[in-house]
Homo-oligomer: A and B are copies of this chain.
Amino acid sequence: MKLYMTDVSGNSFKIRVLASILNVPYEKIYIDWPTRQHKSPAFLELNRRGQVPVMEIEDRVFWDSTAHLVYIARKFGGEDWLPSDPLDMAEVMQWLGFAQNEVNFGLQRARGVLVYGGRPEVYERAREDGLKALDVLTWHLAKGHDWLALGRPTIGDIAVYPYVMRTPEADISLEPYPEVRAWIARCEALPGWLKLES
Residues of chain A touching chain B, judged by Cβ–Cβ distance below 8 Å, are 48-49, 57-58, 60, 62-68, 70-71, 74-75, 84, 86-87, 89-91, 93-94, 96-98, 100-102, 104-105, 119, 121-122, 124-125, 132, 135-136, 139-140
Contacts and interface: CB of A to CB of B under 8 A. Distances in A.
A62 B98 CA distance: 12
A94 B66 contact: yes
A57 B90 CA distance: 11
* Main DSSP-derived SS at the A contact region: helix
Contact of A67 (B94, B119, B122): B94
Contact of A60 (B67, B87, B124): B87
How many copies of this chain sit in the oligomeric assembly?
2
The 3 A-B residue pairs with the shortest CB-CB distance in the complex, in nearest-first order: A66-B97, A100-B100, A67-B94
A165 to B, nearest CB: 20
A121 to B, nearest CB: 4
Given A121-B121, A122-B121, A67 B90 contact: yes
Contact of A89 (B70, B104, B125): B70
Nearest to A128: B119
**Residue of A90, A94, A139 with most chain B CB atoms under a 10 A cut-off:** A90
Given A57-B87, A101-B100, A125 B132 contact: no
Contacts of A139: 48
Given A74-B90, A100-B100, 19 more contacts: A48-B136, A48-B139, A48-B140, A49-B132, A49-B136, A57-B90, A60-B91, A64-B93, A64-B98, A66-B93, A68-B90, A70-B89, A70-B90, A101-B104, A104-B105, A119-B124, A119-B125, A121-B121, A121-B125
Nearest to A71: B90
Contacts of A122: 121-122, 125
Given A71-B87, A86-B74, A89-B71, A63 B94 contact: yes
Contacts of A64: 93-94, 97-98, 101
